[in-house]
A and B are shown apart, each in its own frame.
Chain A
Amino acid sequence: MPHIIEVQHLFKRFNDLTAVDGISFTVASGEFFGLLGPNGAGKTTTIRMLYGFSPPTRGIIRVLEMDISRDWRKIKAKIGVCQQDNTLDPDLTVEQNLLVFAGYFSIPMRQARTRANELLEFFALSNRRRAKVMDLSGGMIRRLILARSLINRPELLILDEPTTGLDPQSRHQVWDRLEKLKASGLSVVLTTHYMEEATRLCDRLVIVDHGKILVEGSPADLILRHAGRNVIEIGGPDQALRDYLKANQVVHDDLGQRVILFSPGGNELSDAVRDNFCHEQCTFRNGTLEDVFLRLTGRELRE
């Protein structure tokens, strides 16, 4: 299967800060690929190099089997980008935003109108077409940015934190649309720090931190490998529990007020914990991508 993106040994330095520190990955055609990481991990910097906005310090980027440093114009004509910042044109209406943007791709006016109508319909913005961007809600703005990034019928869609700051309703609406686009065969690269979003949408993902890739795999695969199918959270752990865990070499994170046990395979451990150590509260649940993320990137605050 052809690779729609091929990144090899990519570096980006800002003065003495290495924002992207030698990452390599590929994205297959039709794949929904996630780039996860805490704030400042280097996601946006990577994305910006992917669509030719910023030149890499070192490394090779091939998009749609072309070299971004040489064929940037051809590549940009075939991809859609949804930037982290709101780059909509506040001087223009909702519809004008789409039509003027279509002009940047040299799409003929008639065709641009047809596509704008389709996209406004698809993103439930038809009744706001003459509204000013400033009068839109956060959710509508995001949907309009998404609509705008699809105006050139891209083969690849690049999304930088498309749902950050949205309320749950808006977020689910965006996910719903993205799932429809995925079903239509569009290749997508998504950055996010919502694990639920990544679990739901991504076929495969990498977790990056400090500009390096920590792990790569499908969400289910990563959960099995780094958190386990079952997780037990124990509130108010005592010394007896700690001794027990040590004696039995159970993989766990000790947060002081809480202990989290990973991959506690079999009922034996669950029963032992339930019978002996659940003084305050115990939660028996499935492992999640959030467990994986926090285990790999740590629990300290970023930025």
Chain B
Amino acid sequence: MIDKRAISWRFIKVWNRNLVTFQRIWKVNFITPLLEPLLFIAAFGLGFVGIVGDIRYGGAEFSYTAFIAPALIATAVMNNAFFETTFASFVRMFYQKTFDGMLATPLSIEEIIIAEIVWSATKAAVAAGIMLGVLGAFGYVQFPYGLLVIPLAFLGGIAFGAVGLFFTGIIPTIEMFNLPIFLFVTPMFLFSGTFFPVSNLPVWAKPFALAFPLYHLVELARLLCLGRHETVPLLSVIYLLVFSALFTFLALVFMRRRLIK
């Protein structure tokens, strides 16, 4: 189904194209991950602190802000990667015909797709790195293990970038991205142990959280930032790897079907 000869290191050229456009507006690209954690810390650290006490997680007590800090990074990874390969890739594919232009060169459609996913993961890792610096300055990250959040963000970026590009391969119009966002991204954002431990959920609801890739990303981010976890970390890594592989494959199949007529 997928021609192996069509996949080569050349995908890096397409990745480079996205890097060039990213650099053109790098200031804008850096502001969000710089300011977002500050906003959350202000809101939860100042506004919530009297209402929500310390949180029990993985057998230890954490301030609420310390508890959500790793989840903020994980959520940013999801948003950066998912929005890059949905809205941004769709604009490149459909409105700007960027991929059509590339297909008149020695590049293959497979290389373009892989580059889009890898790029979205790169962007997610950059955002995670900036956020790590900000949150680390407030003492919410344990170093040096916390630095591993950057490669973790890259893995999470591949997972969410791939699933995003799969949606781009099947969605008829750009407005319809609201559907996967409402059905997939928002529930995940709320119920992946981001704002409260999944151990607080009723028993019947837990399997849903466990099925969410964001849950596993949050868990691993907490392990690296706080040194605590509720799941088996190795299983979370395996989950993210399998999820990435599956949706990269589906993105390859459906994007090819969409673009090659």
B7 to chain A, nearest CB (A): 12
Instruction: Say yes or no for A96: interface residue by CB 8 A criterion.
Output: yes
Bound Cα distance A73, B107 (Å): 7
A142 to chain B, nearest CB (A): 14
Instruction: Say yes or no for A224: interface residue by CB 8 A criterion.
Output: no
Select one of B14, B20, B24, B97 contacting A85, CB under 8 A: B97
Q: Are A100 and B16 in contact, CB atoms less than 8 angstroms apart?
A: yes
Bound Cα distance A147, B140 (Å): 53
Select one of B5, B20, B97, B261 contacting A100, CB under 8 A: B20
Instruction: Say yes or no for B96: interface residue by CB 8 A criterion.
Output: yes
Q: Are B260 and A55 in contact, CB atoms less than 8 angstroms apart?
A: yes
Q: Are A87 and B100 in contact, CB atoms less than 8 angstroms apart?
A: yes
Asked, given contacts A104-B105, A104-B107, A106-B10, whether A89 binds B17 with beta carbons under 8 Å apart, the answer is: yes
Q: Closest chain A residue to B18 by CB distance?
A: A91
Instruction: Say yes or no for B206: interface residue by CB 8 A criterion.
Output: no
Q: Which residues of A contact B50 (CB under 8 A)?
A: none
Q: Are B108 and A54 in contact, CB atoms less than 8 angstroms apart?
A: no
Asked, given contacts A76-B105, A83-B100, whether A14 binds B261 with beta carbons under 8 Å apart, the answer is: yes
Instruction: Say yes or no for A123: interface residue by CB 8 A criterion.
Output: no
Q: Which residues of B contact A51 (CB under 8 A)?
A: 104
Please provide the chain B residues from 232 to 261 with a CB less than 8 Å away from any CB of chain A in the complex. 260-261
Instruction: Say yes or no for B103: interface residue by CB 8 A criterion.
Output: yes
Instruction: Say yes or no for A88: interface residue by CB 8 A criterion.
Output: yes
Per DSSP, are chain A's interface residues mostly helix, strand or loop, or mixed? loop
Q: Are B104 and A53 in contact, CB atoms less than 8 angstroms apart?
A: yes
Please provide the chain A residues from 208 to 238 with a CB less than 8 Å away from any CB of chain B in the complex. none
B118 to chain A, nearest CB (A): 16
Q: Are B13 and A83 in contact, CB atoms less than 8 angstroms apart?
A: no
Bound Cα distance A82, B96 (Å): 15
Instruction: Say yes or no for B21: interface residue by CB 8 A criterion.
Output: yes
Interface residues as binary, B96-127 with A (CB distance below 8 Å gives 1, 0 otherwise): 11101111111110000000000000000000
Q: Are A89 and B96 in contact, CB atoms less than 8 angstroms apart?
A: yes
Bound Cα distance A77, B108 (Å): 12
Q: Closest chain B residue to A53 by CB distance?
A: B103
Bound Cα distance A76, B106 (Å): 5
Q: Are B104 and A73 in contact, CB atoms less than 8 angstroms apart?
A: no
Interface residues as binary, A88-107 with B (CB distance below 8 Å gives 1, 0 otherwise): 11111000100011011110
Please provide the chain B residues from 189 to 217 with a CB less than 8 Å away from any CB of chain A in the complex. none
Bound Cα distance A85, B100 (Å): 9
The CB with the most chain B CB atoms within 10 A, among A81, A83, A87, is that of A87
Asked, given contacts A54-B260, A54-B261, whether A89 binds B98 with beta carbons under 8 Å apart, the answer is: yes
Interface residues as binary, B1-36 with A (CB distance below 8 Å gives 1, 0 otherwise): 000010000100110110011001000000000000
Q: Which residues of A contact B261 (CB under 8 A)?
A: 14, 54
Q: Which residues of A contact B108 (CB under 8 A)?
A: 73
Instruction: Say yes or no for A283: interface residue by CB 8 A criterion.
Output: no
Instruction: Say yes or no for A286: interface residue by CB 8 A criterion.
Output: no
Q: Which residues of A contact B10 (CB under 8 A)?
A: 104, 106
Q: Are A104 and B20 in contact, CB atoms less than 8 angstroms apart?
A: no
Q: Which residues of B contact A100 (CB under 8 A)?
A: 16-17, 20
Q: Closest chain A residue to B14 by CB distance?
A: A104
Q: Which residues of A contact B107 (CB under 8 A)?
A: 104
Q: Which residues of B contact A104 (CB under 8 A)?
A: 10, 13-14, 102, 105-107
The CB with the most chain B CB atoms within 10 A, among A73, A87, A104, A149, is that of A104
Q: Which residues of A contact B97 (CB under 8 A)?
A: 83, 85-87
Bound Cα distance A14, B260 (Å): 12
Q: Which residues of A contact B96 (CB under 8 A)?
A: 87, 89-91
Bound Cα distance A65, B17 (Å): 32
Bound Cα distance A81, B107 (Å): 13
Select one of B101, B106, B260 contacting A105, CB under 8 A: B106
Bound Cα distance A299, B138 (Å): 76
Q: Which residues of A contact B5 (CB under 8 A)?
A: 73
Q: Closest chain B residue to A85 by CB distance?
A: B97
Bound Cα distance A73, B261 (Å): 18
Given contacts A51-B104, A96-B20, A100-B17, 12 further A-B contacts (CB under 8 A): A83-B97, A87-B100, A90-B96, A91-B24, A92-B17, A92-B20, A92-B21, A100-B16, A103-B13, A104-B10, A104-B105, A152-B105
Q: List 26 A-B contacts (CB under 8 A).
A: A51-B104, A53-B100, A53-B103, A53-B104, A54-B261, A55-B260, A73-B108, A76-B104, A76-B106, A77-B106, A81-B104, A83-B97, A83-B104, A85-B97, A86-B97, A87-B98, A87-B101, A88-B101, A92-B20, A100-B17, A101-B105, A103-B17, A104-B13, A105-B105, A106-B10, A149-B104
Task: List the 6 closest pairs (A to B, CB-CB), nearest first.
Answer: A87-B101, A81-B104, A104-B105, A91-B21, A87-B97, A103-B13
